């Protein structure tokens, strides 16, 4: 049988490369054969607990080997999984659960304590499976399942009812109105992308892939499924390894990592901390950076230290599953201010660059990057309005209007120019500035708020401007903001203004804000006070 579902591809690998492994936190590991057996049991447990085809299953747990098992088990039960950031604030978690209305929540002991208070105030009453607990009591009148319920199931193969157009997972991205958007991605979207990636990057069972991206971000799809489709080993870096350069490098060396799809921020950080040396990470062959532009000056350092490694600049929005364009950097940049191209369209993907009048832009002309591909998602869950705004008819088919502006060079490669709207990418996270503004306005004493992004030492930071009424406490404001937003969305700088600049139509004058932001020694400008909110504290 020709495989057409994600689990088909993995089953083929598990029968062929059964000894290859997924390595996780605290030396936890599962061979592919063990993963096949466990996920079959998990799928039967879900089915016998009432999970039906196309139900949504929220996965709220720490980033471990068991996360991969949860995703695969859900797929084998003909359902779709919803990975949720473990550090998501309560209100955002509440909004996601309301929107996706899960039949069940798979969590771990660490997540159960955080999850239960939220489930008690929403009228969903999903079952809860605690995947790392042997037994649980049900004093709180919630239906709990745990390891003993999984282990008592048979490991027999399942007869799948899904077709490849059914949803495999839903990833939530930042929403400009303050409500996260759930991007629906099908089995066909994933297989189209991953089969290309395996062929293009020549990934085999002899490779070891390093995963440093959170599982609720689309960049992790490459790590997970390139491994499960090809039989390559997968190493899941824990949070500590991602923070401390020496631990990350030791991880690469210990597991003999050969492929790493990394965020530009991590690669930049390793250069800034002077952590790279020609004698380290010798097995690492291919480095793919994505999520945000990698400043040329940091790429130059990587390529000088490691002249024999391969470097790729990849671009692709969540709405199109993963990489849509890719550029192999073959020569060390000579100018540290160079904008590294994002490359050309990958196979089975068409790139259209449209000018303001929806005509195809000419070479050198700036236009909006639009994508037509079998990896293009089906839109946003329960939000036809937002879906119709960005998935537009072009000719006889639909295209995804990315909101990113590019220009085409004479050699056919595209160069990223900037964003159309208030969306930015920071540390690999795609962020709607409107969601931060929405959260700021919830804080008592803040009359209005506006955010912009700006470059700071070749990295992008978020700057917020607020109007306040009365007395305010900086630390209290900071703590309240963290109730609504994850840490990576907290503005790096916050300024108070007597009045936010407005256009004649009443909208925020963001051009004026950028002019204010560019003023040196901003704290000396009349009516402006500077507050620093540090992302890591």
- For 8-35, b/e burial (b = at least 16 CB within 10 A) is bbbbebbeebeebbbbbbeeebbbbebb
Q: For residue 53, what are the contacts with CB-CB under 8 A and spacing of at least 6? A: 78, 79, 161, 162, 166
Give yes or no for a contact between 190 and 166, defined as CB atoms under 8 angstroms apart.
Answer: no
Q: What is the pTM of this model?
A: 0.84
> What's the confidence (pLDDT) of residue 202?
98
For the residues of 241-289, what is the DSSP string, one character each?
HHH-HHHHHHHHHHTT--EEEEEHHHHHHHHHTT---TTS-TT--EEEE
User: What 3-state DSSP class applies to 534?
Assistant: coil
> What's the confidence (pLDDT) of residue 27?
62
Q: For residue 337, what are the contacts with CB-CB under 8 A and spacing of at least 6? A: 296
Q: What angle do CA 380, 449, 99 make, to 5 degrees?
A: 25
Q: Which of 182, 218, 174, 223 lies closest to 378 in space, CA to CA?
A: 182
Per domain, the residue ranges of the chain are 6-236, 424-532
- Please state the length of the chain: 537
> What's the confidence (pLDDT) of residue 377?
96
> What's the confidence (pLDDT) of residue 167?
98
> What's the confidence (pLDDT) of residue 178?
66
Helix 187-200 vs helix 6-16: crossing angle, to nearest 10? 50
Q: Name the CATH code of domain 424-532 (choices 3.30.1490.20, 3.30.300.30, 3.30.70.260, 1.20.1560.10).
A: 3.30.300.30
CATH of domain 6-236: 3.40.50.12780
Print the SS3 string covering 374-437: CCCCCCECCCHHHHHHHEEEECCEEEEEEEEEEEECCCCCEEEEEECCCEEEECCEEEEHHHHH
> What's the confidence (pLDDT) of residue 303?
97
- Whole-angstrom Cα distance, residue 399 to residue 378? 11
Give yes or no for a contact between 60 and 104, defined as CB atoms under 8 angstroms apart.
Answer: no
Hey, what's the torsion of the CAs at 121, 84, 8, 64, to 10 degrees?
Answer: -120
> What's the confidence (pLDDT) of residue 140?
52
Q: Which residues of the chain have pLDDT under 50?
A: 520-537
> What's the confidence (pLDDT) of residue 503?
63
> What's the confidence (pLDDT) of residue 248?
94
Per CATH, 6-236 and 424-532 having the same topology is answered no
Give yes or no for a contact between 177 and 374, defined as CB atoms under 8 angstroms apart.
Answer: no
Q: For residue 86, what are the contacts with CB-CB under 8 A and spacing of at least 6? A: 60, 61, 62, 63, 110, 111
Q: Which of 242, 156, 155, 226 lies closest to 191 in space, CA to CA?
A: 226
């Amino acid at each position: 049988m020709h495989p057409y579902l994600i689990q088909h591809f993995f089953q083929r690998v598990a029968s062929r490369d059964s000894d290859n492994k997924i390595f996780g936190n605290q030396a936890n590991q599962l061979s592919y054969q063990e993963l096949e057996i466990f996920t079959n049991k998990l799928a039967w447990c879900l089915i016998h607990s009432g999970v039906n085809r196309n139900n949504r299953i929220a996965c709220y747990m720490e980033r471990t080997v068991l996360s991969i098992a949860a995703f695969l088990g859900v797929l084998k039960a003909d359902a779709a999984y919803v990975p949720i950031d473990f550090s998501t604030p309560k209100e955002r978690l509440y909004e996601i659960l309301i929107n996706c209305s899960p039949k069940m929540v798979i969590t771990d002991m660490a997540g159960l304590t955080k999850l239960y208070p939220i489930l008690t105030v929403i009228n969903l009453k999903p079952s809860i499976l605690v995947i790392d607990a042997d037994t649980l009591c049900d004093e709180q009148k919630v239906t709990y399942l745990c390891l003993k319920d999984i282990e008592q199931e048979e490991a027999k193969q399942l007869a799948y009812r899904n077709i490849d157009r059914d949803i495999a997972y839903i990833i939530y991205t930042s929403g400009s109105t303050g409500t996260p958007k759930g991007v629906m991605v099908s089995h066909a979207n994933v297989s189209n992308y991953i089969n290309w990636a395996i062929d293009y990057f020549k990934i085999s069972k002899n490779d070891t892939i390093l995963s440093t991206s959170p599982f609720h971000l689309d960049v992790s799809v490459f790590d997970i499924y390139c491994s499960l489709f090809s039989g390559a080993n997968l190493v899941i870096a824990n949070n500590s390894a991602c923070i401390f350069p020496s631990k990350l490098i030791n991880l690469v060396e210990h597991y003999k990592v050969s492929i790493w799809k990394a965020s530009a921020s991590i690669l930049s950080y390793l250069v800034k901390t002077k952590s790279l040396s020609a004698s380290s990470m010798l097995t690492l062959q291919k480095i793919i950076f994505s999520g945000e532009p990698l400043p040329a000056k940091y790429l130059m350092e990587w390529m000088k230290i490691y002249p024999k490694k391969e470097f790729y600049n990849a671009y692709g929005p969540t709405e199109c599953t993963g990489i849509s364009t890719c550029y192999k950097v073959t020569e060390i940049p000579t100018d540290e201010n160079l904008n590294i191209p994002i490359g050309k369209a990958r196979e089975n993907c068409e790139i259209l660059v449209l000018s303001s009048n929806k005509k195809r832009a000419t070479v050198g002309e700036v236009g909006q990057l639009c994508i037509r591909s079998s990896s293009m998602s089906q839109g946003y869950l329960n939000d036809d309005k937002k879906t119709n705004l960005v998935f537009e008819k072009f000719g006889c088919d639909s295209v995804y209007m990315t909101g990113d502006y590019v220009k085409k060079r004479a050699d056919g490669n595209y160069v990223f120019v900037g964003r159309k709207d208030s969306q930015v990418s920071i540390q690999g996270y795609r962020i709607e500035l409107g969601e931060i503004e929405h959260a700021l306005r919830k804080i008592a004493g803040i009359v209005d708020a506006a955010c912009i992004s700006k470059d700071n030492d070749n990295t992008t930071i978020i700057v917020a401007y607020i109007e306040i009424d009365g007395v305010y406490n900086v630390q209290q404001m900071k703590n309240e903001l963290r109730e609504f937003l994850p840490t990576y969305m907290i503005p790096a700088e916050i300024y108070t203004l007597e009045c936010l600049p407005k256009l004649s139509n009443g909208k925020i004058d963001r051009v004026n804000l950028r002019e204010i932001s560019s003023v040196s020694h901003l704290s000396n400008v009349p009516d402006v006070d500077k507050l620093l909110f540090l992302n890591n504290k």
